Amino acid sequence: MHNVQQTFLSQYANAPRMQALVAGWNQMLDPLSLIDTWYHKVWNVQTAQGYGLDVWGRIVGVSRVLSLSAQSYQGFYEASDLTEEGFDQTPWYRGVDATTNYQLADEGYRQLIQAKALANIAGGSVLDINQILMTLFAGQGDAYVRDNGDMSMTYVFHFVPTAVQISIIQNSGVLPRPAGVSVSYSIQSN
């Protein structure tokens, strides 16, 4: 503590043994560095690491472990998502996905937590969803939502998302889906 003398009751203000004992404890157990460490590694989402991000993930309701589709398929069932491939490049979709679990690194998980926090307070408007997309995919390319005007919307990506990003987009529940609105995805890369 900065000024341990202020913590004494007036009846112990002139007790030298008590003051020496508390001063020794104060030097040994100075909480200032511990509080700073806790603030930077747990409380501040911008600098949190490991356990701190896991705490934030529980608070906003998103898991560090994502289930990734192990393989892309050719077929008609998944034609509106991001896993379709060209003819004669992948096997046909059989109705069952083989999945693997992937644990996000701290930086990716931090972005996911921030996007989920935005989604938790977003109103579902195009502006709100675009803010979430800018948070998730900062510096990777343009990503935005397009209102098609017929109770449908399209998430448009001007870059090719990785398998982890596809899982975040489709499986994590971060991107809002307004009630009664159908969602499709489009990749428009060079």
Across 6-15, 131-140, 153-162, least confident range: 6-15
**How many separate domains does the chain show?**
2
Q: How much is the pLDDT for 101?
A: 80
End-to-end CA gap in the chain = 59
| One domain, residues 114 and 132 | yes
In a domain, 3, yes or no: no
Residue 176 CA to residue 172 CA, distance in Å, equals 10
Q: pLDDT tens, 90-109?
A: 655 566 655 578 888 998 89
Q: Quick one: tokens of 96?
A: 């069952």
| One domain, residues 32 and 71 | no
Q: Are 108 and 68 in contact (CB under 8 A)?
A: no
Residue 33 CA to residue 50 CA, distance in Å, equals 19
What are residue 42's phi and psi, to 5 degrees? -125, -55
Across 34-38, 139-143, 160-164, least confident range: 160-164
| One domain, residues 148 and 66 | yes
User: Which structural domain, as residue segments, surrounds residue 35?
Assistant: 15-43
Q: pLDDT tens, 106-119?
A: 988 998 898 888 88
| One domain, residues 124 and 170 | yes
| One domain, residues 176 and 156 | yes
Q: What is the DSSP string of 138-164?
A: TTT--EEEEE-SSSEEEEEESS---HH
Q: How much is the pLDDT for 77?
A: 47
| pTM beyond 0.85, yes or no | no
| One domain, residues 21 and 97 | no
